[in-house]
Amino acid sequence: MPSRLLHCLHAALRPPAVRALLAQIAALLPCAALALALDAAGYDLTLLQAVVLQGILAMLITWKIGLAPWWRVIQLLFPPALLVSSAFGLPPLLYLVVFIVLLGWYWSTFRTQVPYFPSSQPVWEAVAAVLPDRPGLRVIDVGSGLGGMTLHLARLRPDIECTGIELAPLPWLYSFLRAKITRSRARFIRGDYENIQFGHYDAVFAYLSPAVMNALYAKAGREMHRGSLLISYEFAIPPYIPDKTIHTTEGTPPLYLWRF
């Protein structure tokens, strides 16, 4: 029973958002202790000084426990942002609306560590250029966001099957409706790419996060068939050396290609 309890506790603490929340709580304790100590000595710690100090401590704790870099920025700014928002006296309903919109947009970022990263048209064109000139080719964009690349490929290559998969509800709904309104042949699935079979596709494109790239490569290695392509924008997958590296425009991140 103790081992099972430890396993459940470990699973509960695994999501980055949970660890970030605990980091804020851990940062609050020394701030409160310092405020009490200063008060006993006849000094005052202003609310602004307290929240700035808490943000700095939370950022340092976040760095120490190894969360992704963007969490450090969030942790630093979160306490001051709460102070600023409370000063405006905004209605509670507004906070609920903002929370629902952000939840629909980012959905499982707290678990997957994959934030919203939009790609651009030069990237879409570079991906289109490296795809084999073969009718019936099946291509999937994992984490397709607003669907720009999938729609672009479907328009450029009407001879191939273009699919986008997105876990967050609002980006998926937006891309799904775009495809319906424009009568695009692109198909959009709402779901987790970990639950689909990469072997059904000839090319997999990903613009995700360094946190998940090794697991993505391992999944591709297990499931993708001989001759298929894994394409990653911006994020390499050490120690795997790409078969090809493409710079779409000067000064922008590269496109990495692995052929299985």
**pLDDT tens digits, one per residue of 83-102:** 887 777 777 666 666 666 65
Q: Return the number of other C-beta atoms located less than 10 Å from residue 132's C-beta.
A: 12
Backbone torsion region of residue 22, taken as left when φ is above 0, otherwise alpha when ψ lies between -120 and 50, otherwise beta: alpha
**pLDDT tens digits, one per residue of 168-212:** 888 899 999 999 999 999 999 999 899 999 999 999 999 988 878
User: CATH 3.40.50.150 in the chain, residues?
Assistant: 121-259
Grade residue 3 by pLDDT with cuts at 50, 70 and 90: low
Residue from 80, 78, 66 nearest 16 by CA: 66
Percent of the chain with pLDDT over 70: 82
**Residue 113: per-residue pLDDT:** 52
Q: Can you list the positions of beta strands (E) in 76-224? A: 138-142, 161-166, 187-190, 203-206
**Inter-residue contact 258 to 240 (CB < 8 Å):** yes
Q: Which CATH number fits domain 121-259: 3.10.150.10, 3.30.450.40, 3.40.50.2300, 3.40.50.150?
A: 3.40.50.150
The encoded tokens of residue 129 equal 């250029």
What is the sign of the dihedral through the CA atoms of 30, 15, 74 and 209? positive
Q: Please tell me the distance from the alpha carbon of residue 193 to that of residue 121, in angstroms, as a whole number.
A: 23
**Residue 40: per-residue pLDDT:** 83
**Most distant CA pair in the chain, distance:** 79
Q: Can you list the positions of beta strands (E) in 101-173? A: 138-142, 161-166
Q: Please tell me the distance from the alpha carbon of residue 40 to that of residue 63, in angstroms, as a whole number.
A: 32
Q: Please tell me the distance from the alpha carbon of residue 12 to that of residue 19, in angstroms, as a whole number.
A: 9
**Inter-residue contact 58 to 67 (CB < 8 Å):** no
